[in-house]
Structure 1
């Protein structure tokens, strides 16, 4: 039986470095999946890594998002597949245990302290009871 993983890392697959045709997001997805699988702890069971066509971070490729239900979402930019894998895996470990996903920049590993493009608070949707008037 396939279990849904509670956390997701999403990588932009359309980002390109200025003047180049390669799309480093695909390389980053492969490297991140391998690094998480090799981490030897629970993050391999807790995180799904996938790609998406665009996250509007075109000026700061590669862009990577961490998100989960009822947790803050993070968007990081300027991620280099060959350089930043350890920081991404370390942040996965950290993010997994944060009950609301919230942490300050000084607590994030390495380059992720300064490459944060956005931190979006968790969304809690409240539905109000409404009366439906019959016409």
Structure 2
């Protein structure tokens, strides 16, 4: 029998409620420093403003989240950003410099919203994001006795 203590599966710090059709998650907790992530908060603020200015505010909620476990400790403030939606593939990009222009992040948001299943080739991504792709995760398909639930 395993006697290791277990923490609850969905503690509030790691749960993010989605209120828009699509969600962009920006890491705002730095596991390497053991504190809040100032670059993550800065990127979160800029990305929220850019998504609203691009007319995508009804399509996307931009939220900060706990550690996404994709950062590189020696990259001095680079961020991890993810896109997710119900019944769509989830995308995770790393090494995003919050001081750089974020037009590629907005452009990816447009592409992601336009694709029914969120599945794209890396070649479809804006150029700066191609090299920063950490993961493209297929949409979950839950199968019960009654049938598939998406």
| Shorter-chain TM band | 0.7 to 0.9
CA distance in 1, matches of 2:87, 2:141: 7
Whichever structure has more strand as a proportion of its residues is 2
Which residue of the other structure, out of 128, 136, 142, is the alignment partner of 1:119? Answer: 136
CA distance in 2, matches of 1:22, 1:15: 5
**Aligned structure 1 segments of 4 or more residues deviating by more than 2 angstroms:** 15-18
Answer yes or no: is 1:81 the counterpart of 2:98.
yes
CA distance in 2, matches of 1:51, 1:125: 27
Q: For the structure 1 residues 8 and 44, does the alpha-carbon distance in structure 2 shift closer, same or farther, using more than 3 Å as the test?
A: same
Aligned residues: 122
Structure 1 gaps of 5+ residues are: 130-135
Of the two, which has the highest radius of gyration?
A: 1
CA distance in 1, matches of 2:67, 2:53: 28
Structure 2 gaps of 5+ residues are: 1-18
**Residue correspondence of structure 1 range 1-135 to structure 2 within 5 A:** 4-15=19-30, 23-39=38-54, 41=55, 43-59=56-72, 61-128=78-145
How much is the aligned-residue C-alpha RMSD, in angstroms? 2.0
TM-score, normalised with respect to structure 1: 0.83
